[in-house]
C-alpha cells in the first residue's frame, strides 16, 4: 500500500513573499510608476495597507479595489527552487501519491500553480478551498484526498501555518509536518496554539523530508 503526501502551497512549496513582490510590481506597472513599488514595499514592511499608501503618496486615480484586483489576478513571477523540485520528484518516483491542498481564491492559486509548474507533480490532485466551497478550517479537501486514495496506508500533510494547517489532518489521524519559518513567512509561527493545532513533526527545510521518506 502507498502513502499519500499532501502539501500546502504558500510558504511551504515557495516563499509567499515572492508572490507579494511580484504583485506589487504588477500594480506599479499598471499605474505607470516605478516609485509605487517601493511605496507598497515600505507599507508592507511596516504593517500598513500598501494600496492606501500608493493612493496617498503617488496620487494615482486608480482605486484601491482596482489595485487589489490586479494584485490578485496577475500572473506571478515566482519559481520553484531546486530543493523543492527534487523532493517532489523523489516522492513521485518512489510511488508516493502527491496532492496539493491550498487556501485561497481559485484564479490566484491557479496562476501560482501554473507559474511554479506544479501540475507536473500533482496532476489533477489539486484542492483549492474556493473550488471546494470551503476554507482551510474545513475538512473537505483532506476528506477528498482520503476518498481519492482510500487504500493508502498513511496520509501526511506538510504545511507552515499553525493557525489553520494542521487542525483537521491531526483530527483525521494524518502525520502532520511543519516546515519552520526561515524568518520571512507571511504568517508568523511565533504564536501560541492549542495542542490540536500543532504539527507532530517540525523540519527546518523541505529537504529534510528525505529522512522521513527513507524511514
- Kindly report the length of the chain: 215
Q: Which among 178, 140, 185 is positioned nearest to 160, based on CA atoms?
A: 178
What percent of the chain is predicted at pLDDT more than 90?
Answer: 80
What would the mean pLDDT of 19-44 be, rounded to a whole number? 97
Rounded CA-CA distance 134/214 in Å is 34
**Cross-strand partners of 178:** 159, 202
Per-residue DSSP letters for 69-135? HHHHHS-------HHHHHHHHHHHHTTPEEEEEE-S-HHHHHHHHHHHTTHHHHTT-EEEHHHHTS-
What would the mean pLDDT of 105-126 be, rounded to a whole number? 96
Question: How many other β-carbons are positioned within 10 Å of the β-carbon of residue 51?
Answer: 24
Rounded CA-CA distance 176/201 in Å is 6
pTM of the model: 0.93
pLDDT at 135 over 70: no
Report pLDDT digits (tens) over 52-107.
999 999 989 999 999 999 999 999 999 999 999 999 999 999 999 999 999 999 99
3-state secondary structure of 152: coil
Torsion angle defined by CA atoms of residues 88, 92, 97 and 98, in that order, rounded to the nearest 10 degrees: 20
pLDDT of residue 189: 87
Cell numbers for 131: 473550488
Residue with cell 516563499: 15
- pLDDT bin (cut points 50, 70, 90) of residue 138 is confident
Looking at per-residue confidence, does 212 or 54 come out higher?
Answer: 54
- pLDDT bin (cut points 50, 70, 90) of residue 14 is very high
What percent of the chain is predicted at pLDDT more than 70?
Answer: 97
Answer yes or no: CATH 1.20.1530.20 is held by domain 3-15+80-213: no
pLDDT of residue 34: 92
Q: Is 110 exposed, middle or buried (0-12, 13-18, 19+ CB in 10 A)?
A: middle
Report pLDDT digits (tens) over 180-210.
998 888 887 888 889 999 999 999 999 999 8
Give me the helix-helix angle, 64-73 and 16-31, nearest 10°.
130
- For the chain, give every domain's residue range: 3-15+80-213, 17-73
Amino acid at each position: 500500500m502507498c502513502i499519500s503526501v499532501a502539501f500546502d502551497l504558500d510558504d511551504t512549496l515557495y516563499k509567499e513573499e515572492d508572490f507579494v513582490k511580484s504583485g506589487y510590481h504588477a500594480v506599479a506597472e499598471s499605474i505607470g510608476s516605478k516609485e509605487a513599488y517601493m511605496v507598497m514595499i515600505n507599507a508592507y514592511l511596516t504593517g500598513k495597507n500598501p494600496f492606501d499608501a500608493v493612493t496617498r503618496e503617488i496620487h494615482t486615480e486608480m482605486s484601491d479595489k482596482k489595485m487589489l484586483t490586479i494584485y490578485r489576478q496577475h500572473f506571478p513571477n515566482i519559481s520553484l527552487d531546486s530543493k523543492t523540485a527534487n523532493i517532489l520528484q523523489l516522492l513521485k518516483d518512489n510511488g508516493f501519491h502527491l496532492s496539493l491542498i491550498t487556501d485561497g481564491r481559485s484564479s490566484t492559486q491557479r496562476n501560482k500553480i501554473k507559474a511554479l509548474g506544479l501540475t507536473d507533480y500533482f496532476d489533477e490532485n489539486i484542492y483549492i478551498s474556493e473550488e471546494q466551497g470551503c476554507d482551510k478550517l474545513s475538512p473537505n479537501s483532506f476528506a477528498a484526498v482520503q476518498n481519492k486514495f482510500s487504500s493508502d496506508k498513511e496520509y501526511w500533510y506538510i504545511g507552515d501555518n499553525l493557525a489553520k494547517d494542521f487542525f483537521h489532518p491531526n483530527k483525521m489521524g494524518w502525520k502532520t509536518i511543519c516546515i519552520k519559518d526561515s524568518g520571512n513567512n507571511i504568517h508568523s509561527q511565533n504564536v501560541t496554539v492549542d495542542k490540536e493545532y500543532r504539527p507532530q513533526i517540525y523540519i527546518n527545510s523541505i529537504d529534510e523530508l528525505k529522512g522521513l521518506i527513507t524511514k
